[in-house]
Amino acid sequence: MKRENLTAGEFSIVSRLLRKGPLANIELSTSLGLSASTVSLLLKKLTGKRLISEIQAEHYLKPTEESQRRRKTFAVNQELGYALTAEIDYDHIVLSRIGFDLNPVSSRKVPTRGNDRTSIFDQLDDEIAVELKSGGERCLGLGFSLPGHVDVKSLTSIRNTRMKNWQDVSFAGFESFCSTVIIENLANAKAAGEYAAGYGRELDDFLFLNVDNGTGMGIVIHGELYRGARFTAGEAGHVIVNEESENICTCGNRGCLESYVSNKSVHTRLLRLKTSDVDSGLFDDPDFGIIERAYPLLARHYAAGDKVAYLTVNEIAHHMGLACASFLHLFAPEKIIIGGAVTELGEGFIDLVVNCMRRYHLPWQGPINLSFPADNSHVGAQGLAYQVFRKHLGGTV
Ligand SMILES: [Zn+2]
């Protein structure tokens, strides 16, 4: 669909309604610093463009004539269309359609046919055609997320260590499906999703630490993703937490955070313990030896009181606490959200990390506020959709 070219005022209202709606004129006026009459004019224009619609007041208020007159409430027009998103990982792709109100319409996970550029692009061509056929013509744009560094301006995957032939891979060809295309690093997509539709809806400055096959961080500063000078900011996984460590990281350095917390690192540690004559029921579990199942395996045996699981969880929490204390000192965020496979360990894990942080925390840097994300498996897709909608409306990503 053809891109909108909204004025700055129109764009700020639709962006606000996307993230915080439904809202009344007075709430928009206060939060955006615009006069009520300006907001009224803009709301009228946007309603005319069918980008937003007035919510029937009786759904929210007592249906008295006076209350309806005082407080008209507006929301984005969910009929406008949808974003089609593809979250690409080395062994699977999650394809989702997300409505203009950021609610998921559909989502499915497919295994990748291979993890080289040609296989994945061929598969994406096929899957996108299927999704567009199901979703209809109102696709407002395509959003892709993937591990590694991406240049969001030129739509290029710069570097990806876990996939073959992924040096300088351009996604611009997908504009043949839809004129609005965005790509984003996986952790940044999740951070954008938290910002638009999760805990971040109430926060403007926060960090999203994603611990999964890799370890990355989305940094949100004043409501915008911070990507650094070359789109490589947020390499939280390669912050060194123990230079003396025996753990060699995928980057070649010793003792990076990722070498303690990623799926593969946990898996490797458990393998090492198995060969060192330590006894544990964990080693007989059917999930033992499967990298992607390392956290669910650990969580089950930790809950059952297994000693190997206990020591491993405490080691992960300790190194994550060291790193998070530094992140807190560097960015002074309102909150650090820890997402990904590590959430399998349950809320008690957050307490362990906080206990470690307390030892190193400088109190003048603000309180320790740490949590898992809202329980939402669509957060990455919603983050991509939010970026797609902003670009569709004429904003920058
Ligand atoms: Zn590293």
pLDDT (tens digit per residue) in 274-284? 888 788 999 99
Give me ligand 1 centre to Cα 257, in Å: 7
Distance between Cα 241 and ligand 1 center (Å):
10
| Whether the bond into 22 is cis, omega within 30 of 0 | yes
pLDDT computed for residue 3 by the predictor: 86
Q: 248 C-alpha vs ligand 1 centroid, how far in Å?
A: 8
pLDDT number for residue 64: 56
Determine the distance separating the centroid of ligand 1 and the alpha carbon of 259, expressed in angstroms. Answer: 7
Q: How many CB atoms lie within 10 A of CB 40?
A: 15
Residue 352 pLDDT level (bands cut at 50, 70, 90): very high
The mean pLDDT value for 259-263 works out to 97
pLDDT of residue 276: 82
pLDDT in tens, 197-247: 998 889 999 999 999 989 999 999 999 999 999 999 999 999 999 999 999
Q: Looking at residue 18, what is its pLDDT?
A: 95
**pLDDT digits over 18-50, tens only?**
999 899 999 999 999 999 999 999 999 999 999
Average confidence (pLDDT) over 60-64: 53
Higher pLDDT, 375 or 32: 32
Question: Which pLDDT score, from 0 to 100, does residue 90 have?
Answer: 84
Q: What is the mean pLDDT of residues 291-315?
A: 96
Cα gap 97→88, rounded to integer Å = 15
Q: For residues 95 and 127, is the Cβ–Cβ distance under 8 A?
A: yes
The first and second tokens of residue 41, run together, are 């004019």
Which pLDDT score is estimated for 1?
A: 77
Q: How far does the centroid of ligand 1 lie from the alpha carbon of residue 72, in Å?
A: 53
Dist CA 224 CA 64 (whole Å)? 40
- By the 8 A CB rule, do 82 and 140 touch? yes
Structure confidence at residue 103 (pLDDT): 95
Cα 210 to ligand 1 centre (Å): 15
Question: What is the Å distance from ligand 1's center to 314 Cα?
Answer: 20
User: Is the pLDDT confidence value at 67 over 80?
Assistant: no
Q: What percentage of the chain exceeds 70 in pLDDT? A: 96
Percent of the chain topping pLDDT 90: 82
Reading the block at residue 333, the tokens are 């965020």
Q: Are strands 370-371 and 335-340 parallel, antiparallel or unpaired?
A: parallel
Q: How far is the CA of 9 from the centre of ligand 1 (A)?
A: 43
What pLDDT sits at residue 165?
Answer: 83
Cα first-last separation, the chain: 18
Residue 163 confidence (pLDDT) above 90: no
- Give a three-class secondary structure readout of the chain: CCCCCCCHHHHHHHHHHHHHCCEEHHHHHHHHCCCHHHHHHHHHHHHHCCCEEEECHHHCCCCCHHHHHHCCEEEECCCCCEEEEEEECCCEEEEEEEECCCCEEEEEEEECCCCEHHHHHHHHHHHHHHHHHHHCCCEEEEEEEECCEEECCCCEEEECCCCECCCCEECHHHHHCCCCEEEEEHHHHHHHHHHHHCHHHHCCCEEEEEECCCEEEEEEECCEECCCCCCCCCCHHHCECCCCCCCECCCCCECECHHHHCHHHHHHHHHHHHCCCCCCHHHHCCCCCCHHHHHHHHHHHHHCCCHHHHHHHHHHHHHHHHHHHHHHHHHCCCEEEEEEHHHHHCHHHHHHHHHHHHHHCCHHHCCCCEECCCCCCCHHHHHHHHHHHHHHCCCCC
CA distance 262 to 147: 13
pLDDT for residue 59 is more than 60: no
For the chain, the average pLDDT equals 92
Centre of ligand 1 to C-alpha 27, Å, is 45
Tell me how far the alpha carbon of residue 375 lies from the centroid of ligand 1, in angstroms.
29
Averaged pLDDT for residues 332-356: 96
Nearest residue to 87 (alpha-carbon basis) of 15, 151, 142, 141: 142
379 alpha carbon – ligand 1 mean position (Å): 26
- Calculate how far, in angstroms, residue 251's C-alpha sits from the geometric centre of ligand 1: 4
Q: Give which of 394, 324, 387 is closest to 85, Cα–Cα.
A: 387
Identify which has the larger pLDDT, 65 or 73: 73
Structure tokens at 322: 């060291």
> What does pTM read for this prediction?
0.92
